[in-house]
Structure 1
Amino acid sequence: MNWGKGIIAGMIIFMLFILSMCIYMFRMPKDEYDHQYYEKGLSFNQDYAKERQVLADQAQPQIRVTGAEVTIAFTGPAKGTAKFIRPSSAAMDKTFNIQTGAEKTALLPVGSLARGRWRILLEWESGSKNYLYEKEVAL
């Protein structure tokens, strides 16, 4: 085989490589990026202030997973939301409303959620202060 055939073979192999990479990239799922990226960037300072408020007031809620329920114990009466975020699929995310009374605990039924790793994003108001807390749990 002479050097001309080697160059042609190399070019064909390179073109097949580029073509296979194009096919691979077009088959990737389209929801691999955050569609609300810019909106979240605009509200970053407010979220950061809420997270710092949790640390300043030492108001980290205690989260316990027991079977088909998640128990969240707050330091005071709370009203807000608990968002269960599945890292592998945004379609499986679920939001629960939280309304605690004097007992300061919330019971969330999570029996319908898939087993595995979840992030819990708690956003609540207690007294006149707003809080934001995030924790990773295994259901």
Structure 2
Amino acid sequence: MNWGKGLITGMIIFMLFISAMGVRMFMVPGDDYDHQYYEKGLTFNRDYDREKQVMTDQATPVIEQVGQTLALTFKTPLTGSIRFERPSDQRQDRSFPLAPDAKNKVVLPIAKLATGKWQLTINWQHGGKNYLYHQEITIQ
């Protein structure tokens, strides 16, 4: 084999390698990053203040899984919402309004939610103050 054939063979192999990597790059699933990273960065201070308000007022909700329901107990009357976020599949994310009873307890059915890890984000208001609380739970 002479030099010309070796160079052409090497270039063909290199081009096939680059083409295969290009095809593979488009076949893999999308990156697992937060698509709203910049928007969340702009509201970070507001969210931080709301999370700090939970600690200041000692308003951390008590979260219990009872059978096929999730019970949240708050210290005061409130209005707000809860968001269930599935780390492994964004399409399963759900939001529910908080409707507490007379004892400031909210009971949510979780039978339709997949078992496994979920990130809870609870937003609520009481007495002109805004609160934000995050917790990871495992639904069984």
Q: Structure 2 counterpart of 1:76, which letter? A: T
Aligned to 1:105: 105
Aligned to 2:48: 48
1:2, 1:137 → 2: CA distance? 66
How much has 1:58 moved relative to structure 2? 1.3
Q: Structure 1 counterpart of 2:70, which letter? A: V
Q: What SS does structure 2 have at the residue aligned with 1:107? A: strand
After alignment, is 38-47 or 127-136 more displaced? Answer: 38-47
2:2, 2:136 → 1: CA distance? 61
Q: CA RMSD in A?
A: 2.2
The change in CA–CA distance for 1:21 and 1:67 in structure 2 (over 3 A counts) is farther
The count of residues paired between Structure 1 and Structure 2 equals 139
Equivalences for residues 99-138 of structure 1 within 5 A: 99-138=99-138
TM-score, reference length from structure 2 = 0.84
Which ranges of structure 2 fall in alignment gaps of 5 or more residues? none
Q: What SS does structure 1 have at the residue aligned with 2:25? A: helix
Which ranges of structure 1 fall in alignment gaps of 5 or more residues? none
1:31, 1:109 → 2: CA distance? 32
* Contact 1:117–1:138 (8 Å) recurs in 2: yes
1:110, 1:117 → 2: CA distance? 13
Q: Structure 2 counterpart of 1:94, which letter? A: R
TM-score, reference length from structure 1 = 0.85
How much has 1:63 moved relative to structure 2? 0.7
Q: Structure 2 counterpart of 1:50, which letter? A: R
Identity of aligned residues (%): 49
The change in CA–CA distance for 1:2 and 1:78 in structure 2 (over 3 A counts) is farther
The change in CA–CA distance for 1:94 and 1:3 in structure 2 (over 3 A counts) is same
